[in-house]
Amino acid sequence: MATTHTDIRDGRRVDVTVEFVSRRTLELGGQRVQRLLVVDTSGERFPVLVVSGGVGIPALQFGKRYRLGGLLGAVTGGSAASGLTCAGCGERLQQEQTAGSVVPVIVRAAGQFGIDGVFGIADGLTSVERSAGETGSVDDWQTLSRSGAGSQAHVCTGCGRHVDAQEIGDSTGVVWPAVVTPDGQTGGPGQTGGDTSGSTSGLRKMIENGYTPQPAAIVDRMLYGTHQLDTPQSVTPGGSLELRHGAVVAENPLDGGTERYVAVQLDTPQPDVFERPQVDLAVVLDVSDSMGGPVDDYYYGGESGGTTKLEAATRGLCALTRQLCENDRLAVVLCNQQAVVAKPLDEIASTDTAAIRRHIHEIACGGDTNLADGMETAIDVLESGTNPRSEQRLLLVTDTMPNTGSTGRDALARVLADAATDGIHTTLVGVGLDANAELASMLSGVRGANRYFVDSGEQFERLLATEFDRMVTPLGHDLTLELADDSHEIAAVHGSPPVDATTDRLVYVGTVFPTHSRGNAATCGLVLARLTRTAATEEVELVVSWTERGGGERSQSVCLSWPDEEPTQTGVRTVVTLARYTQELRRWAADCHDRAANTDTRGRFPDRWGEHCNGPVPLDVPERYARRFDRLADSLRQAMDRLGEPRFEREVALLESLCAGSDSRDS
């Protein structure tokens, strides 16, 4: 019978065949300690710690089987397990002792890694070789159970019997992702199809359902990301990106004044062919309780008959497997209050993607949300399998409601920022109308990151089918727009992607992504700045700088004058109109949310849901906003006639619905 995890004992050496899943590393007292997560032939997961000078770990490959010869057994802990007795002799059970005396730093490392229970030590006496029966795993999805690496083993103080956690009914607090039962029911909400269309569907659905949208969910990119400036490109010799720029003077229909705008946009040259690079993608799928709520409404423990957020997410994840090329690599991490690697990082060419899709459809949700653990686990997977030819990206699919582990916004952003310094960047997909847009906005502000929102499985599929290559391929970094003199100041900025920082003289955007394609070339999201004139001049000088994907730094100085003729710069005028629209909606939504927080009219839920659980704010359109929305709708109708922009029809319809829902109050 094959040796498995259950045969490992403290201080004893065993020969065991395992499959390599993931690796994490620590530096302790000048020694490098690695924690390997492996799976034995029975499907049991357990950790193996490796101290520098031990086994040759860099040779291991994810999803492949190896024979570890002379693996030393060890167990953390040592205190008596309160209230537990041996079924054989009746004496008390005590957690087994670690073999720390063999390699002293292992004790500290086990504590740092959070290991609690049986594990292995690969030291200088441990050998590693490829399993004789290894042929390359095709369906490398890992079976999940409650008795994972976190299970606690005990030893009887009387007879010495070893007792596993499941034998004594010990609850470690880990709720593993559930699996759908044969009748297709998960115990959660029912399953029906969802339907949506348009990039602003979430905003419209929120209003149709009687809620005030989250201000952070109203983003410029979803409205004017596909617009292109109608100006000639400025060629930067030797660069892979070219600059477009424009300026307009536009009347503000809400206050009657005139405003000055400048816009910049980066393009790839028209003859170029836009191609995304090879990608190593680690997906973190949130499978916590809140993902069982409806994707198109608010849900916290109640009943729902619609499509759940998890169903929408798994539908999108299955679609993702069809977007990857043979030399791309994919890993999947499932995350509730503890993260597990469900699929190790491996090439699509050697993966049975049909089988992976079947496993994905079997996932169900439960438990709390430790988003930090999910992110850190996925980052470790990517760091362990670094390929210099690949773009390394973490795809975070969640409703962004962490409530256990590290939940602070700064701490979560720091995890992604530290990964970005090592070349691992993040794409966040917020699932559901109730996804925490404010936290999503902060996390996507990290260098190299971007974000999207979906409110149905169909929309997620369409997003991946049309946007995947662009959403994982940043074309440039550190875009700055700086005023060269003091004749003007920056009064406001509208960015696509979101603007990271602004002063009265400078705009900074950490990363620019392509938003759409023009034939073979690609256009990046534009940045629009409203200026205030501080001197008697009709010109403004800008210095635009950026770093290209390959690392080349570019800078270009341009002098813009304000055009007198209305028909010129129609692309900039279109974006100005949409920017004013989103700004007004954000101002209204922020006001409503602030008043709801101050008057306690926001939906309230148990504290266990955590600080990032946003209760719904009932739709409220005071009369003063209804009047402004009415004037704004008129200006959009005029812009449609003047600019020939039929897409404004959706914005006009939304403003009309808000005006119709006004409560005629001015509170």
Percent of the chain scored above 90 by pLDDT?
Answer: 19
| Domain assignment of residue 542, yes or no | yes
The model's confidence at residue 47, banded by pLDDT at 50, 70 and 90, is very high
The model's confidence at residue 181, banded by pLDDT at 50, 70 and 90, is very low
- In this predicted structure, the answer to whether residue 17 has a pLDDT above a threshold of 70 is yes
Q: Are residues 481 and 620 in the same domain?
A: no
Average pLDDT of the chain is 77
Contact 513, 250 (CB under 8 A): no
Q: Which two tokens stand for residue 634?
A: 């008129």
Which of 25-29, 298-302, 420-424, 656-660 is least confident? 298-302
Structural domain total, the chain = 4
- Average pLDDT value for residue range 537-557: 88
Q: Are residues 295 and 314 in the same domain?
A: yes
**CA separation for the pair 409, 5 (Å, rounded):** 38
What per-residue string of b and e applies to 423-459 under the rule 16 or more CB within 10 Å gives b?
A: ebbbbbbbbbbbbbbbbbbbbbbbbbbbbbbbbbbbb
Looking at per-residue pLDDT, the higher value among 342 and 604 belongs to 342
- In this predicted structure, the answer to whether residue 570 has a pLDDT above a threshold of 50 is yes
- In this predicted structure, the answer to whether residue 7 has a pLDDT above a threshold of 50 is yes
**pLDDT (0 to 100) of residue 94:** 54
Between helices 409-421 and 371-384, what is the axis angle to 10°? 10
Q: Are residues 387 and 251 in the same domain?
A: no
| Domain assignment of residue 348, yes or no | yes
Contact 203, 216 (CB under 8 A): no
Q: Are residues 253 and 304 in the same domain?
A: no
- In this predicted structure, the answer to whether residue 661 has a pLDDT above a threshold of 80 is no
pLDDT digits 0-9 by tens, 101-142: 456 678 888 888 888 888 998 877 777 777 755 545 467 787
| Domain assignment of residue 655, yes or no | yes
**pLDDT (0 to 100) of residue 114:** 85
pLDDT digits 0-9 by tens, 445-493: 888 898 888 988 888 988 888 788 888 988 888 889 999 988 999 998 8
**pLDDT (0 to 100) of residue 135:** 45
**pLDDT (0 to 100) of residue 99:** 42
The residues, any chain, with a CB within 8 Å of residue 97's CB and separated by 6 or more, are 10, 75, 77, 78
| Domain assignment of residue 205, yes or no | no
- Average pLDDT value for residue range 590-603: 74
The residues, any chain, with a CB within 8 Å of residue 150's CB and separated by 6 or more, are 114, 116, 117, 172, 174, 338
- Average pLDDT value for residue range 333-345: 91
Q: Are residues 378 and 250 in the same domain?
A: no
Q: Which two tokens stand for residue 18?
A: 């395992």
| Domain assignment of residue 510, yes or no | yes
Query: For the CA atoms of 495, 497, 500, 501, what is the dihedral angle to 10 degrees?
Result: -20
What per-residue string of b and e applies to 600-618 under the rule 16 or more CB within 10 Å gives b?
A: eebeeeeeebbebbbbbbe
pLDDT digits 0-9 by tens, 382-405: 988 777 788 999 999 999 999 888
**pLDDT (0 to 100) of residue 605:** 53
Contact 533, 494 (CB under 8 A): no
Q: Are residues 448 and 375 in the same domain?
A: yes
Percent of the chain scored above 70 by pLDDT?
Answer: 74
Strands (E), 200-328: 242-251, 258-267, 279-286
**CA separation for the pair 359, 180 (Å, rounded):** 10
- In this predicted structure, the answer to whether residue 78 has a pLDDT above a threshold of 60 is no
Which of 246-260, 311-325, 582-596, 634-648 is least confident? 634-648
Upper half-sphere CA count for residue 73 (Cβ side, 13 Å): 19
Q: Which two tokens stand for residue 522?
A: 């690609």
Contact 453, 518 (CB under 8 A): no
Q: Are residues 299 and 445 in the same domain?
A: yes
Q: Are residues 334 and 406 in the same domain?
A: yes
Looking at per-residue pLDDT, the higher value among 180 and 624 belongs to 624
**CA separation for the pair 63, 60 (Å, rounded):** 9
Q: How far, CA to CA in Å, does 581 sit from each of 44, 501, 593? A: 55, 22, 19
Domain that holds residue 619: 578-660
Torsion sign across C-alpha atoms 386, 392, 396, 402? positive
- Average pLDDT value for residue range 613-640: 87
Last residue of a domain, one of 552, 571, 590: 571
- In this predicted structure, the answer to whether residue 556 has a pLDDT above a threshold of 70 is yes
